[in-house]
Amino acid sequence: MDFDEETVNGFKQIITEGLACGAFLDPAAITVEVDGKHIANRLFQNPPHMIETTLKLLEFYISRANVKSVISFTENDQALTAIVTQTCYKMEIPFFVYDLENDQGADSQFVRPEVVPCSVIIPYSINENQVLEIIGRFEQQKVPITQVIAMVEENPMKSGFSGEIEYITLSDWTSIKNRIKLFKNLTNEKMEDLMSSFG
């Protein structure tokens, strides 16, 4: 599967619009966690064109990286697990779940040599330190990671990553907020309430 830059950007625009509409229609889709507010990955699953676009984009990036398996860094996120499971099933490559909440050391995740290098998919990226910490967890366990895909980037990354690791994001909060600002017939109060959901 191969797409040109214009097609990839078109897919990302579809995803951004879907997330913006989802956040508008379902205020509970912005969850408050210990480390801040995050958009729920269930918004990637509906309507049908949203999940199809997401799966195509994930398959494109994973195929391009030439990895042999995918690790979902879920923190018990059932929606993300479902999305990555569908992607890996379609691609016919192994899928591993890293449940940070219930498996602190992830020692139960034994990645065999024949299924590395791996791509790691995370529900959101907060900043460089968070992404580097995730990469570090796998480096400590000698699991070769060559790609990190964030479903949503919450803050623009100030710098790239050294070495062989590719960092990808499907959408970002700035684009989602800018799309929401284009909504018509919203009162100032409603717009302020929506914007406050993003912190």
Helix (H, G, I), strand (E, B) or coil at 129: helix
**Burial environment of residue 101 by CB neighbours within 10 A (0 to 12, 13 to 18, 19 or more):** exposed
pLDDT at 143: 83
CB-CB contact of 34 with 190 (8 Å)? no
Question: Using CA atoms, how far apart are residues 155 and 136, in angstroms rounded to an integer?
Answer: 20
Q: Which amino acid makes up residue 145?
A: I
Q: Are 140 and 92 in contact (CB under 8 A)?
A: no
Per-residue pLDDT of the chain (199 residues), as tens digits, is 689 899 999 999 999 999 999 988 888 888 888 778 889 999 999 889 999 999 999 999 999 999 999 988 865 678 888 999 999 999 999 988 876 555 555 444 556 777 889 999 999 998 888 888 888 888 887 788 899 999 999 988 765 566 678 999 999 999 999 998 888 777 888 888 888 877 6
Q: What is the pLDDT of residue 104?
A: 54
Residue 146 backbone phi and psi in degrees, to 5: -115, -5
Helices (H), the chain: 5-25, 48-65, 78-91, 128-140, 173-180, 188-196
**pLDDT recorded at residue 75:** 59
Assign domain 5-196 to a CATH class: alpha beta
Domain ranges of the chain: 5-196
> Residue 107 has what pLDDT?
46
For position 49, what pLDDT does the model report?
A: 92
